[in-house]
Amino acid sequence: MKILSLFDGISCARVALERVGIPVEAYYASEVDKYAMQISQKNYTDIKHLGDIKELCSEEGLRRYLPEIDLIIGGSPCQDLSIAKKNRKGLDGERSSLFWNYVLLLKYVKPKYFILENVASMPKEAKVIITEALGVEHIMLNASLV
């Protein structure tokens, strides 16, 4: 399976795919934290790092060659959605607005499958907007069970 992991962190999606027995043919990652990228590159030397999602979504970035992708996976930043932040700005916030880059890439790449992860404590209106943008109803999974 060919994977595009957005907001990749330390490539935990790759670990999860391996643990459930899904073979990874190619793994492309968009991440900005240099320490996270160092960890993922140390554990998986075949990861192809694509850099910042904002650059990837630029006109020039979208012209870059991306092979056919089977699965886009990622969790856009939650700081502006989480109840942990006072005066949260939702999907208009500086970090959580990066969700729209996920949507842009989803429409551009047209993968067979996609997974978007985020916090359950986001405002109801943000859940509605995300559901409409993705065209599917969200489901909540208890991460402690997986």
**Active-site amino acid positions:** 78
Question: What one-character DSSP code corresponds to residue 57?
Answer: T
If phi > 0 it is left, if psi is from -120 to 50 it is alpha, else beta; for residue 11 that is: left
Query: Cα separation of 63 and 27, whole Å?
Result: 19
DSSP string of 65-126?
A: -----SEEEE----TTTSTTSTT--GGGSTTGGGHHHHHHHHHHH--SEEEE---TTS-HHH
Question: What one-character DSSP code corresponds to residue 34?
Answer: H
> Residues 38-57, buried b or exposed e (16+ Cβ, 10 A)?
eebeeebeebeebeebeebb
